[in-house]
């Protein structure tokens, strides 16, 4: 009786479609377009069966996990003004463009008004106020009806903004960076300077990308589900 039960058990098991546990295996990647180093592929979840069944069926699944990428450029990272007489002036000077396939964040830090480079006590007025703005055309920033606000330098440090995922972002979002200064009679002749930092952040990056380098993590196979 035990022998008969054992034979029946093996026949039943043998007539099943078996999912075999196995580690994912990486395969070579070739490219119709692009560089094959930018894609890696694994196969996993093998299956099999053995019996006299007439019909067998199994599912095939293809999964593509896409990392967030970015391509950005800025026409320059420095404005240099040459001012002959007091007045309030603004100019665009710098064009900025960004492409990405998901939300891109921007933060600002360290911005402040222009300061006299020889020290505060060496000028009657050691500060020149500076404002920042963005816009593609002059009417975007032209006072008094400009739709975009001018940010005083230090207030810019409180701004956190982002460009959301859109067709426009995928194709390339372009704007111009504007700066405005106000020079008064008591600004002594010399050089005034200020610096600041803009940080761009990819807001939907995959966990299998190393944030600091953009390379694959060493244990990429662990992300095969």
pLDDT in tens, 51-106: 899 999 999 999 999 999 999 999 999 999 999 999 999 998 889 999 999 999 99
Is residue 143 located within the same domain as residue 164?
Answer: yes
Here the CATH number for the domain that contains residue 130 is 2.60.40
**Looking at the predicted structure, is the pLDDT value of residue 7 above 50?**
no
Q: What residues contact 54, with CB distance under 8 A and at least 6 apart?
A: none
What global pTM score does this model have?
0.81
Is residue 146 located within the same domain as residue 75?
Answer: yes
Is residue 22 located within the same domain as residue 106?
Answer: no
Q: Which residue has the higher pLDDT, 51 or 202?
A: 202
77 φ/ψ angles, rounded to the nearest 5 degrees:
-120, 15
Domain boundary among 67, 83, 103: 67
Instruction: Measure the CA–CA gap between 176 and 216, rounded to whole angstroms.
Output: 34
For residue 200, the tally of other CB atoms under 10 A from its CB is 14
Q: What SS3 string covers 99-157? A: EECCCEEEEEECCCCEEECCCHHHCCCCEECEEEEECCCHHHCCCCCCCCCCEEHHHHC
Is residue 45 located within the same domain as residue 111?
Answer: no
Is residue 186 located within the same domain as residue 83?
Answer: yes
Domain boundary among 51, 67, 83: 67
What is the model's pLDDT at position 22?
74
Is residue 63 located within the same domain as residue 75?
Answer: no
| Cα-based angle 184, 186, 190 (whole degrees, multiple of 5) | 90
Is residue 61 located within the same domain as residue 136?
Answer: no
Tokens of 202: 């990819």
Is residue 19 located within the same domain as residue 79?
Answer: no
Is residue 192 located within the same domain as residue 99?
Answer: yes
pLDDT digits (tens, 9 = 90+) for 103-146: 999 999 999 999 999 877 778 899 999 999 988 888 888 877 77
Work out whether strand 130-134 and strand 70-74 pair parallel, antiparallel, or are unpaired: unpaired
Domains in the chain, number: 2
Q: Can you tell me the mean pLDDT for 172-185?
A: 94
């Amino acid at each position: 009786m035990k022998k008969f039960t054992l034979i029946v058990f093996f026949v039943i098991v043998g007539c099943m479609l078996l999912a075999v546990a196995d580690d994912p295996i990486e395969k070579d990647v070739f490219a119709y377009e692009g560089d094959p180093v930018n894609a890696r592929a694994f196969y996993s979840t093998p299956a099999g069966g053995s019996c006299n069944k007439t019909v067998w069926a199994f599912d095939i699944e293809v999964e593509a996990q896409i990392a967030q990428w970015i391509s950005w450029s800025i026409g320059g990272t420095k404005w240099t003004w040459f001012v002959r007489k007091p007045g309030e002036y603004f100019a665009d000077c710098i064009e900025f463009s960004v492409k990405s396939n998901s939300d891109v964040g921007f933060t600002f830090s360290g911005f402040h008004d222009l300061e006299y480079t020889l020290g505060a006590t060496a000028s009657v007025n050691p500060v020149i106020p500076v404002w920042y703005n963005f816009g593609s055309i002059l009417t975007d920033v032209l006072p008094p009806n400009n739709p975009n606000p001018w940010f005083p330098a230090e207030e810019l440090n409180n701004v956190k903004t982002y460009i959301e995922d859109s067709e426009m972002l995928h194709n390339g979002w372009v704007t111009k960076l504007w700066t405005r200064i106000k020079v008064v009679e008591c600004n002594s002749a010399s050089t005034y300077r200020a610096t600041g930092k803009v940080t761009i952040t990819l807001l939907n990056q995959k966990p299998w990308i190393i944030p600091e380098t953009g390379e694959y993590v060493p244990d990429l196979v662990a992300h095969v589900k």
